[in-house]
């Protein structure tokens, strides 16, 4: 078996792309998108018809409402190609707006259900700010399941688990990027700070009995992926999926519920004040969360302009 086939024995593989052809090729269980991926996709000739259709069919609505329908159009096409769930992201400009995020999550689910998709097949993707986590807590109580993204630290992960969110997406590659730039060192294998962060979160969840799924995300190389074999899910870009499919190097399980029981971890109690203080104490997580929100906001603005240019 190639590395991708081996990984599928331990971990649910998710395609991190808006590219339908990649999904056909690699047969992932689930798929995730984000503002940057959708922006990139709609500028390709093969996906421009989806954009044109969204604008033509809903041109009387405001730009935000058109984009909601564009995101759902992508999601509907993706769901034709995968057996599992698609993650659809809320507008990053709502990252510090609990009520706005709740309203957006409800609207996206309404659009999917109008199209005949059950809410069990959709994850609403929300930034792991305190406000975003509170929004997810409300949505989860309505059986609107959430994927908490831009997650870089244990306090973010703990707050998500306490809120009983369905799934979190800790960003391996962006953690690695920060430490590499900060230290000037190269990291590989188990020494990679991004890998270590996800292992810690996974072990914490399993040791203390949290049901929230852990989905490693934002990979820079296949070494990071292989080191997290056994994680609940891994969302992987098409280029790295291709590299895994081309390699027949052995893949061993690295994470398991059984081994997590012996992890040297203490249970942490969090409220808003302690969450904000712990996050603030982590320079990497604070910087990468802020940067990620800024980048997604910038791409959302670019997508707005593309839609407005077609109206």
Distance CA(177)–CA(187), nearest Å, equals: 10
Both tokens assigned to 257: 């519920």
Summarize pLDDT for 160-183 with one digit per residue, the tens: 999 999 999 999 999 999 999 999
Summarize pLDDT for 97-129 with one digit per residue, the tens: 999 999 999 999 999 999 999 999 999 999 999
Dihedral angle over CA of 126, 128, 134, 136, nearest 10: 30
Closest CA to 143 of 112, 181, 175: 112
Indicate the DSSP class of residue 237: -
Indicate the DSSP class of residue 16: E
Average pLDDT, the chain: 97
Summarize pLDDT for 131-161 with one digit per residue, the tens: 999 999 999 999 999 999 999 999 999 999 9
CATH (domain of 161): 3.20.20.70
Whether the pLDDT of residue 311 is over 90: the answer is no
**72-104 burial, b for 16+ CB within 10 Å, e for fewer?**
bbbbbebbebbebbbbbbbbbbbbebbebbbeb
Half-sphere exposure of 214 (CA within 13 A, CB side): 32
Which active-site residues does the annotation give? Answer: 125
Average pLDDT over residues 240-257: 97
Which 3 state secondary structure label does DSSP give 171? strand
Helical axes 283-310 vs 48-58, angle rounded to 10°:
70
CB neighbourhood size of 46 (10 A): 10
Whether the pLDDT of residue 94 is over 90: the answer is yes
CB 84 within 8 A of CB 121: yes
In this prediction, residue 256 has a pLDDT band, given cuts at 50, 70 and 90, of very high
CB neighbourhood size of 39 (10 A): 18
CB 72 within 8 A of CB 122: no
- Residue 178: per-residue pLDDT: 98
Rg of the chain (C-alpha set): 19
Beta strands in the chain (DSSP E): 12-16, 30-32, 86-89, 122-127, 146-151, 167-170, 213-216, 233-236
Average pLDDT over residues 88-95: 97
CB 105 within 8 A of CB 135: yes
Whether the pLDDT of residue 230 is over 90: the answer is yes
- Count of domains forming the chain: 1
In this prediction, residue 21 has a pLDDT band, given cuts at 50, 70 and 90, of confident
Whether the pLDDT of residue 35 is over 90: the answer is no
Whole domain around residue 182: which residue ranges? 3-310
């Amino acid at each position: 078996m190639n590395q991708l086939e081996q990984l599928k024995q331990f971990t649910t593989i998710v395609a991190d792309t808006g590219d339908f052809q990649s999904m056909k090729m690699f047969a992932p269980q689930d798929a995730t998108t984000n503002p940057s991926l959708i922006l990139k996709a709609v500028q390709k000739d093969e996906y421009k018809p989806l954009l044109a259709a969204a604008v033509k069919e809903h041109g009387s609505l405001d730009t935000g409402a058109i984009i909601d329908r564009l995101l759902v159009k992508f999601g509907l096409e993706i769901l034709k190609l995968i057996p599992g769930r698609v993650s659809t992201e809320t507008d990053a400009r709502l990252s510090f707006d609990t009520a706005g995020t709740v309203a957006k999550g409800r609207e996206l689910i309404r659009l999917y259900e109008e199209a005949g998709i059950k809410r069990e097949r959709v994850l609403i993707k929300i930034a792991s700010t305190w406000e975003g986590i509170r929004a997810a807590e409300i949505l989860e109580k309505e059986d609107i399941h959430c994927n908490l993204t831009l997650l870089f630290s244990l306090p973010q992960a703990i707050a998500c688990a306490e809120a009983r969110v369905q799934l979190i997406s800790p960003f391996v590659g962006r953690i690695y990027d920060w430490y590499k730039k900060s230290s000037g060192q190269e990291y590989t294998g188990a020494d990679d700070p991004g890998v270590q962060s996800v292992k810690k979160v996974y072990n914490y969840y399993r040791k203390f009995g949290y049901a929230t799924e852990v989905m490693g995300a934002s990979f820079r190389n296949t070494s990071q992926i292989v080191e997290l074999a056994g994680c609940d899910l891994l969302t992987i870009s098409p280029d790295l999926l291709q590299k895994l499919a081309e390699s027949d190097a052995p893949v061993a399980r690295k994470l398991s519920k059984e081994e997590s029981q012996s992890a040297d971890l203490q249970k942490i109690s969090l409220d808003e004040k302690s969450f904000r203080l712990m996050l603030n104490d982590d320079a990497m997580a604070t910087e990468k969360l802020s940067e990620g929100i800024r980048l997604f906001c910038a791409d959302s603005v670019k997508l707005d302009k593309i839609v407005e240019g077609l109206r």
